[in-house]
A and B are shown apart, each in its own frame.
Chain A
């Protein structure tokens, strides 16, 4: 088995597009939730809240032929990957295009903006007029992975991990496994999501979206008794995963080691989470890393601020770790970036571990008594030196993931 390290990380989220900017926002306690202009026209939609990536436009320097097939989600994925590859010292490397490097990347679906354009013509106008050759490839399920491969000329395997809110964490996990089992030396891994009204509506229909429309700075509130649901956001985060000896041989900076990964399925209900399945995936993650629960110094929770999700996750976490492990969710700050959340949260968790502090559960004033007792980080960032953390994510379909990262490599 090969050891797998992280040699590059890059991300875009509602709080910024580099660690320093995001760190300052986390330390200042800011969130990215905004009242979204134009959403009020949708009949029946109760929420008007979203957390977009501010000021992101398709870079003009990108060649037209490489950019034409991208929706906003793919474009963010590519930008995050440019940052990550540059940090890893691999931008422009021949190893990207000689088969050494593969890609493992996902989003909930393809670009909702591109799908809207297609659907409007197709179903409202009953016409193909105006639908160009690039419309479909912008919203096909594997658009992020495919665009990454085209843009960077990656010629290894392409693993699209389109599993809603575990797209990003499965991206990292399957990328890790591709290296661990010797298929590749380098994997571009992660997830992306484009904020679209269609995704928001999905949660709104299920009464799972926050409707504190007049208090965007007060929501979402994971684990809080007064939470009222999630806030959809967007972004992308890319990990450059590398076989450890390969990274050491080229003198790469190593940010962390991927110590373990597990994914499983509840196999029970299409939307309702199951604490048993969540507990199982955490135990499988520990088993894959050959670690006991006591080795984990911090758990980054999925913590979406939905009632059923928070309760089940807290119970599962307490079953595995007891009540002593420090836990926080970043969604009170970032919103729920769906297909991007797994890799965004893993990125920020590693950065916090390297800095020796962890962000609190923003908005958590009084823990819902139905949530299990845990060491929820509250109010202020907590100084905490730890060498190993776990990052968990859960998705529609009962899909669960658990990633374990180590600082000491």
Chain B
């Protein structure tokens, strides 16, 4: 998936799940800024996995701070936490 497609996917999920407006969700948006917490992060991961089969690992979830981080991780341009510790 291209970064544009991933961002569109995240927007669709987050509007549906977290009562956010599409405009509020930008690549630079931070989870705190969007009023999302660890429970929301898990629910986002569950929805992404359901939609495209991408699996997050625990350490990845803990390190994600922005929408850009999520896009990069899914697109493979961000090193996962597992790779970083190898």
Tally of chain B residues near chain A (CB < 8 A): 12
Query: Nearest Cβ distance between residue B66 and chain A, in whole angstroms?
Result: 20
Q: A65 touches which one: B37, B46, B47, B50 (CB < 8 A)?
A: B37
A130 and B46 form a contact (CB under 8 A):
yes
A133 and B50 form a contact (CB under 8 A):
no
Q: Is the CB of A129 closer than 8 A to any CB of chain B?
A: yes
Q: Is the CB of B42 closer than 8 A to any CB of chain A?
A: yes
Query: Nearest Cβ distance between residue A55 and chain B, in whole angstroms?
Result: 22
B residues in contact with A132, CB < 8 Å: 42-43, 46-47
* Nearest chain A residue, comparing its CB with the CB of B43: A132
B46 and A131 form a contact (CB under 8 A):
yes
Chain A residues 102-156 with CB under 8 Å of chain B are 129-134
Chain B residues 3-55 with CB under 8 Å of chain A are 18-19, 35, 37, 39-40, 42-43, 46-47, 49-50
A residues in contact with B42, CB < 8 Å: 132-133
A129 and B35 form a contact (CB under 8 A):
no
Q: Is the CB of A64 closer than 8 A to any CB of chain B?
A: yes
Q: Is the CB of A323 closer than 8 A to any CB of chain B?
A: no
Q: List 11 A-B contacts (CB under 8 A).
A: A64-B18, A68-B39, A129-B50, A130-B46, A131-B46, A132-B42, A132-B46, A133-B39, A133-B40, A133-B42, A133-B43
A residues in contact with B49, CB < 8 Å: 129
A residues apposed to B, CB below 8 Å:
64-65, 68, 129-134
Q: How many A-B residue pairs have CB under 8 A?
A: 22
B residues apposed to A, CB below 8 Å:
18-19, 35, 37, 39-40, 42-43, 46-47, 49-50
Tell me the complex Cα distance, A129–B47, Å. Answer: 9
Query: Nearest Cβ distance between residue A130 and chain B, in whole angstroms?
Result: 5
B residues in contact with A133, CB < 8 Å: 39-40, 42-43, 46
A residues in contact with B46, CB < 8 Å: 129-133
B18 and A134 form a contact (CB under 8 A):
no
B50 and A130 form a contact (CB under 8 A):
yes
A134 and B50 form a contact (CB under 8 A):
no
Tell me the complex Cα distance, A68–B50, Å. Answer: 19
* Nearest chain B residue, comparing its CB with the CB of A128: B46
Query: Nearest Cβ distance between residue B47 and chain A, in whole angstroms?
Result: 8
* Nearest chain A residue, comparing its CB with the CB of B19: A64
Query: Nearest Cβ distance between residue A176 and chain B, in whole angstroms?
Result: 34
A residues in contact with B39, CB < 8 Å: 68, 133-134
Tell me the complex Cα distance, A129–B51, Å. Answer: 10
B residues in contact with A68, CB < 8 Å: 39
Query: Nearest Cβ distance between residue A232 and chain B, in whole angstroms?
Result: 31
A residues in contact with B19, CB < 8 Å: 64
Query: Nearest Cβ distance between residue A150 and chain B, in whole angstroms?
Result: 12
Tell me the complex Cα distance, A131–B46, Å. Answer: 7
Q: B35 touches which one: A65, A131, A134 (CB < 8 A)?
A: A65
B residues in contact with A65, CB < 8 Å: 35, 37
A residues in contact with B18, CB < 8 Å: 64
Q: Which of B18, B19, B49 has the most CB of A within 10 A?
A: B19
Tell me the complex Cα distance, A65–B19, Å. Answer: 10
B residues in contact with A130, CB < 8 Å: 46, 50
A residues in contact with B50, CB < 8 Å: 129-130
A residues in contact with B47, CB < 8 Å: 132
Tell me the complex Cα distance, A213–B29, Å. Answer: 55
Query: Nearest Cβ distance between residue B36 and chain A, in whole angstroms?
Result: 9
Query: Nearest Cβ distance between residue A120 and chain B, in whole angstroms?
Result: 14
Query: Nearest Cβ distance between residue A82 and chain B, in whole angstroms?
Result: 20
9 closest A-B pairs by CB: A133-B42, A133-B39, A132-B43, A64-B19, A132-B46, A130-B50, A133-B43, A129-B50, A130-B46
